[in-house]
Structure 1
Amino acid sequence: MKLGFNMLLWTPHVTAAHEPILKALKKTGYDGVEIPMFEGTPDHYARVGEMCDRIGLERTVVSVIGPGGKNPLSPDKAQQKAAVDYAKWVIDCSSALGAPIIGGPMHSEHGFFSGAPATAAERKRGLSFHRRAGDYAAKKNVRLSLEALNRFESYFITTMKGLAEYLDEVDHPAIKGMYDTFHSNIEEKDPVAAVKDIKRHMIHVHISENDRGTPGKGHVPWAQTYKALRAAKYDGWLTIEAFGSSMPALAAATRVWREFFPNPEEVYKLGYKNMKQGWAGAK
């Protein structure tokens, strides 16, 4: 088991200026960090990877398909091509970073709604997108770990059962799935039991409290969640994802209108203890 922390708590774009934060996470005991990927070049991320290597931190990536004419579900051929090009850019940057897993909702445009449930035609376009992206990712030794989002952020994939069935249909070794405690808390009838639905595809886990604050200070059933993950024989990353209001653009995108914790130190220190002790106690 590896313990990670998502850098979105501080920034959407990690640079050398964030080295003190990375060192603090390493000192706390984290095995790695999750690097947000929304801008930049492979050369930039290669330098970030070198910085993390010096500190002793492994890497994963989180990215989304934002607005700007690159929705893979769109009937517009230009948008479909732009989506594939974007996925290739994320994969190239992740490879340069030394990150073998790309987590996040890389299946549809984040925050876009058609006003209706997903159609068979949209699903067909999604499958085509992921098979093409998967072929490219495989060549770079990278895997995409798709994330189901809650209904207020996406209409395409919102549950673990729905995600698992979609991945069954994609049927590509480089396209897998992830479990996220925040979204599952909203969408699942039984968030803990939903681990079983995704376990055959699960290669990544986001640890996030029900309010996006400090893990262990909300109502996510952590003891039962860790027990379910261990029962599923999961042995990958547990990566904390928490958001604050320090960056207005990111706060708006994640609907953060108030503070959920007194300071970042509480989140990564108590969050680490929550994961370390919770996992050990789930045997």
Structure 2
Amino acid sequence: MTLGMKLAICNETFIDHDLASGFRLAAEIGYTGIEIAPFTLGEGPNISAQPLADVRQLSAERRAKIRAAADDADLEVVGLHWLLAKTAGFYLTSPDPAVRRVTSEYFVALAELCADLGGKILVLGSPQQRNLLPGVPYEAAEAYAAEVIRAAVPTMEARGVTLALEPLGPAEGDFMTTAAAGRALAERVGSPACRLHLDVKAMASEPTPIPQIIRESAATVAHFHANDPNLLGPDMGDVPIRPALEALRAIDYRGWVSVEVFRYEPSGEAIARTSFENLQKALA
């Protein structure tokens, strides 16, 4: 592998598998890291059968088994993403102090779970739990978000977990829609445990070229998602992945390049295999 980067994939790609068999398939394809969506950690014949609504329901024994399944597959747990998907009652930019408090508490629980599984990254996307609410201007929403995150920062710092703020394009929401907005929120939080996540699909919605966004984010970027705006994997659409990887090399990025897709056509396994092959070619 070149560039000092490591290849991972998000586990919900293997939606028709149980957790352990999805891990084994990812490793068999060639990935060395797995990124986990918390809602996939429920019990059931596959990871979509019984979505987990609250990670605090996971016992220490269950956490140990999940970590052991990754170890047995020779995979490193990168961390967690889709943090608030399929949950209820949490909101990053709510004007209600009680909602902000319980959301902070849940981020603490997510940081604990991430560390228990051996992960180091929490990717904060979750547009449906952060978009601007009626009557809340952007500046106030950013202040609320910073408050929520700062309350969880001591646990993140203590457990060695980094919250990676994920800008999402305007098609998905109206809060933190650019990398610059993500950098601004990270600066407002003011902790090395709060940094930036970059995603090809999201960056493609900005007028600034993707390599320039990466260079401008060099001091802040902690994690990276490889995909295409067509919701498939890297180099499976109109946005070539190589310029982004070259920009990552130029800033000496040494973190994970993790495949995140949203369409599993013709299958999750086929997407995972093609994505790995395309990344290998681009990195060669």
TM-score, length of structure 2 as denominator length: 0.84
Q: Which amino acid aligns with 1:32?
A: G
Contact 1:214 1:266 in 2 (8 A): no
Matched, 1:270 2:274: yes
Tell me, yes or no, if structure 1 residue 102 matches structure 2 residue 122.
Answer: yes
Aligned to 2:31: 30
Tell me if structure 2 keeps the 8 A contact 1:137–1:174: yes
In 2: Cα distance, 1:169 partner to 1:112 partner: 18
CA positional deviation for 1:135: 1.4
Distance 1:214 1:265 in 2: 12
Aligned to 2:77: 59
TM-score by length of 1: 0.84
Aligned to 1:251: none
Q: Which amino acid aligns with 1:36?
A: A
Answer yes or no: is the 8 Å Cα contact 2:93–2:130 preserved in 1: no
CA separation of 1:80/1:230 partners in 2, compared to 1, >3 Å: closer, same or farther? same
Q: How has the CA–CA distance of structure 1 residues 182 and 118 changed in structure 2, closer, same or farther, with 3 Å as cutoff?
A: farther
In 2, Cα distance between equivalents of 1:154 and 1:118: 14
For residue 3 of structure 1, what is the aligned residue in structure 2? 7
Indicate whether 1:205 and 2:224 are aligned: yes
Deviations 1:214-253 (A, max 9, x none): 3212011212111111111111000000123xxxxxxxxx
Aligned to 1:131: 150
1:255 matched residue in structure 2: none
Root mean square deviation of aligned Cα:
2.2
- Which region of structure 1 is more displaced relative to structure 2, 111-120 or 166-175? 111-120
Aligned sequence identity (%): 22
Moved more, 260-269 or 218-227: 260-269
Q: How does 1:59-208 map to 2 (within 5 A)?
A: 59-60=77-78, 61-66=80-85, 68-105=88-125, 109-110=128-129, 112-114=131-133, 118-208=137-227
Look up the SS of the partner of 1:193 in the other structure: helix
Q: CA distance change for structure 1 residues 104 and 124 in 2, over 3 Å: closer, same or farther?
A: closer
Are the counterparts in 1 of residues 225 and 259 from structure 2 also a CA contact under 8 Å?
yes
Distance, in Å, in 2 between the alignment partners of 1:237 and 1:42 is: 28
**Within 1, Cα distance between the matches of 2:122 and 2:15?**
17
Q: 1:179 to 1:116 in 2, by over 3 A?
A: farther
| 4+ aligned runs moved over 6 Å, structure 1 | none
* 1:257 counterpart residue number: none
> 1:127 offset after TM fit, Å?
1.5
Between the aligned partners of 2:229 and 2:93, the Cα distance in structure 1 is 29
Task: State how far apart, in whole Å, the 2-side matches of 1:188 and 1:114 are.
Answer: 26
CA contact (8 A) 1:63 1:103 kept: yes
Map 1:196-235 to 2 at 5 A. 196-235=215-254
Q: Structure 2 unaligned runs (5+)?
A: 40-51
Give the number of aligned pairs. Answer: 261
> Aligned in 2, Cα 1:198/1:261: closer, same or farther, shift over 3 Å?
same
**Shift in alpha-carbon separation, 1:188–1:93, aligned structure 2, 3 A:** farther
Shift in Å, 1:42 = 5.0
Deviation at 1:116, TM superposition (A): 7.1
Contact 1:42/1:97 (<8 A) preserved: no
Aligned pairs (5 A) from 1:230-245: 230-244=249-263
Deviation by residue 1:186-207 (Cα, 9 ceiling, x = unmatched): 2343223111222211111001
* Alignment partners' CA distance in 2, 1:42 and 1:226: 39
CA contact (8 A) 1:134 1:173 kept: no
Tell me, what secondary structure is at the counterpart of 1:177? strand
Indicate how the Cα distance of structure 1 residues 229 and 3 shifts in structure 2: closer, same or farther if over 3 A, else same: same
Describe the SS at the equivalent of 1:200.
coil
